[in-house]
């Protein structure tokens, strides 16, 4: 039985009350250094806890990037577990950025790792990769639905290298990205006010009017800040779908730590700029 409301319902509410900003928790070695922390598990823990304490009570979504925790092995994963639990307890929705994707039978295990409410890494949503076929993600779709969780499926990523795969077209001229977006629209059909199955669409990509971005689900828009995009770019990239965009910033906010005020003021500035750009 579902233990909580669907992710799309919870996300829409959070976007409406807190504003739509997502802040990534990406403990780069260079950021740990800049914060005066050691590049080890103690530094990782301090960095993550500081970010959660500064932001989890005010931004809609926090997005820990799993790789930065995995690089410390089991002790890093233990910090990730605490980070997820503390962020959720403080009221943020947690999007686990692990970009998982495998054949269906293995995808079931990834779903158990991140989308089973009984698991220690259970998160409100998970980033997943559709490049083994959207259908291979079915176990994650099922697990997310059962748990009231969500998925963000890579569609048009913020990095320039993504285009050779994502804009490749089949015999009928349909691009890979358009196919992913169509599957998402089908997965979200009938959901109100917003489906739980989102797309990742970079804010760096310029005009995307060739793509049907209205999938009745959220659109995670990374690339703001360090990768060069700004909130002012959102209307031109997303058009009418901008109302469903969750703009995502990692280094652009994190570089203002370790002071809590620095992190909060930076997030507030991005949130203001998003409000000015998309209302």
User: Which candidate in 18, 28, 75, 99 is catalytic?
Assistant: 99
Query: Which of these ranges, 164-172, 181-189, 224-232, 261-269, lies near ligand OMP under the rule CB under 6 A?
Result: 224-232
Which residue among 83, 145, 216, 250 contacts ligand OMP (CB under 6 A)?
A: 250
Q: What are the φ/ψ torsions at residue 135 (nearest 5 degrees)? A: -60, -25
CB of 72 to ligand OMP, least distance (A): 17
Q: Strand pairing partners for 197?
A: 151
Residue 166 or 188 having the CB closest to ligand OMP: 166
Whether 128 and 137 have beta carbons less than 8 Å apart is answered as: yes
Per CB under 6 A, contacts with ligand OMP among 62-91 are: 65
CB of 164 to ligand OMP, least distance (A): 14
Q: How far apart are CA 131 and CA 65, in angstroms?
A: 20
Written as six digits, the tokens of 127 are 């980033």
The total of other beta-carbon atoms located within 10 Å of residue 103's CB is 11
Q: What are the φ/ψ torsions at residue 202 (nearest 5 degrees)? A: -65, 140
The yes or no reply on residue 218 touching ligand OMP (CB under 6 A) is no
Measured at the CA of 263, the angle between CA 234 and CA 224, to 5 degrees, comes to 20
CB-count burial class (<10 Å; 0-12, 13-18, 19+) for 49 = middle
List the x/- string, 132-171, binding to ligand OMP by CB under 6 A: -------------------------xxx------------
Q: Is there a catalytic annotation at residue 99?
A: yes
Which sequence positions are flagged as catalytic?
A: 99
Question: Interface with ligand OMP by CB under 6 A: which residues?
Answer: 24, 26, 65, 97, 127, 157-159, 200, 202, 222-223, 225-227, 248-252
């Amino acid at each position: 039985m579902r233990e909580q409301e669907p992710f799309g319902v919870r996300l829409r509410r959070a976007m409406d009350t807190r504003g739509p900003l997502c802040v990534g928790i990406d403990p780069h070695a260079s950021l740990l250094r800049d914060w005066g922390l050691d590049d080890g598990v103690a530094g990782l823990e301090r960095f993550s806890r500081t970010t959660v304490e500064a932001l989890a009570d005010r931004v809609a979504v926090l997005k820990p990037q799993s790789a930065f925790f995995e690089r410390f092995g089991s002790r890093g994963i233990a910090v990730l577990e605490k980070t997820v639990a503390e962020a959720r307890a403080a009221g943020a929705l947690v999007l686990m950025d692990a970009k998982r994707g495998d054949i269906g039978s293995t995808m079931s295990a990834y779903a158990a790792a991140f989308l089973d409410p009984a698991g220690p890494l259970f998160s409100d949503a998970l980033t997943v990769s559709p490049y083994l076929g959207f259908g291979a993600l079915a176990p994650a779709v099922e697990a997310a639905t059962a748990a009231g969780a969500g998925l963000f499926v890579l569609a048009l990523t913020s990095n320039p290298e993504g285009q050779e795969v994502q804009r490749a077209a089949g015999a009928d001229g349909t691009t890979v990205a358009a196919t992913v977006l169509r599957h998402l629209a089908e997965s979200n059909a009938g959901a109100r006010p917003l489906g739980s199955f989102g797309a990742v669409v970079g804010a760096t990509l310029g005009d995307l009017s060739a793509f049907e971005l209205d999938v009745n689900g959220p659109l995670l828009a990374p690339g703001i800040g360090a990768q060069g995009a700004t909130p002012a770019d959102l209307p031109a990239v997303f058009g009418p779908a901008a109302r469903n965009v969750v703009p995502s910033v990692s280094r652009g906010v994190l570089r203002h730590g370790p002071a809590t005020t620095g992190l909060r003021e930076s997030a507030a500035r991005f949130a203001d700029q998003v409000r000015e750009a998309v209302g």
